[in-house]
A = this chain, B = another copy of it.
Amino acid sequence: MESLLTLGKKAKQVERQLAQASSKEKNDALLSMSRGLLEDSDSIIEANKKDIKNAEKNGISDSLMDRLTLTTERIESMSQGLADIAKLPDPIGIVDSMWTNESGLKIGKQSVPLGVIGIIYEARPNVTSDAAGLCFKSGNVVILRGGKAAFHSNLAIVDSLRKSLSKGRLPETAIQLVEDTSRESANEMMKLNRYLDVLIPRGGATLIKAVVENATVPVIETGTGNCHVYIDQSAQLEMAKDIIVNAKTDRPSVCNAAETLLIHKDVAEEYLPVLEKALNEWNVELRADEAAGEHLTTFTPATEEDWETEYLDYILAVKVVDSLDAAMSHINQYSTGHSEAIVTNDYFTGQRFHREVDSAAVYVNASTRFTDGFEFGFGAEIGISTQKLHARGPMGLPELTSSKYIVFGEGQTV
């Protein structure tokens, strides 16, 4: 088992080679890794069975078991993911602006890889190939640290990816797995400033919090989503219903699902019973404040904790507000800054919501579920940033790049 320091050194050794790889070299390698996963499907599933057996012994939850389990279809989808990444435009080497300064220097701002990216994640083995593919395409060396539960699966996936890489001209060590899944290795990784340029945690709120609080390596905080839908008094009932039902029930376990419904007092009496009926069809449990409870049949009284909670489940907090200002003030107090939506027919209300709500994605008359690299049209997603530095919102390939200034002179001095 190699130490993190060794992995870090090896990563730095190949950093420049990968940064300068041509698009063709990278795409050929991605397609080779894509084919390799299919060829190694049986051995990956075999490794996954070990993880599942351990998980059964440890009695993990059904949803965790679902995330952990690999099938032929899931491996096909991982393989397809790599092939799709190969088709995306290369984000490296783009000079998006170039100008001439007062001294006649031509100054161009060119995209370059970040360098070495660390990914800390949990039980989903598909993150392994997905993150590896995106980092690779953007010319970054990646050091992956998956959760203990998926250890054998991750090892088999990385072995397969590296076997494919070894057939081409780019270095195998562009993709490395941390085999030590102890808490100590995670903590060590968070302080590996010498070898890591950035650390991206992908997983639940506890993991993200631990990384943000302990890391000295620059972190991109992702994916905690306490998202809100506010139904304004001018909202159309049908549209409001469609949006809240979609935002809550389309996939409750993901970060862009709605967790709190805010509704203007003037329409609470008319709309809430209709919304309750629609949400009942999905067995959504309601946690309501007093004013909302007056118009609901079945609910639990909401506590302060409910406004703060990312349920990731068929549960929805409901609150009646007196005004747009009250709604935005609630959102800005409790939101994690991920995605918020308003349903309104009023032009100025929409304008104010766009301007005054401080979240990565602010929607007028659409579901929060659209906050996603694929829905946005990026063709890829490494995560959804909820911090303001470097990247905010869905992160595609360009968000995995930095820049450098290339300057063309003819002898100029200051």
Contacts and interface: CB of A to CB of B under 8 A. Distances in A.
Interface in A362-407: 362-367, 369-371, 375-377, 387-390, 392-393, 402-407
A63 B248 CA distance: 62
Residue in A247, A375, A376, A405 whose Cβ sees the most chain B Cβ within 10 Å: A405
A215 interface: yes
A411 B218 CA distance: 38
Contacts of A246: 413-414
A110 to B, nearest CB: 8
Interface residues of A, number: 70
A282 interface: no
B101 A388 contact: no
Nearest to A361: B405
A293 interface: no
Given A107-B376, A212-B193, A389-B114, A414 B367 contact: yes
- Report, nearest first, the 4 A-B pairs whose CB atoms are least far apart: A366-B409, A246-B413, A388-B402, A369-B414
A207 to B, nearest CB: 15
A245 B414 CA distance: 11
A412 interface: yes
Given A247-B413, A375-B414, 8 more contacts: A16-B358, A115-B388, A242-B413, A365-B409, A365-B412, A366-B408, A367-B412, A390-B390
Most chain B beta-carbon neighbours within 10 Å: one of A216, A376, A407: A407
Interface in A57-111: 99, 101-103, 105, 107
Given A243-B411, A407-B370, A101 B218 contact: no
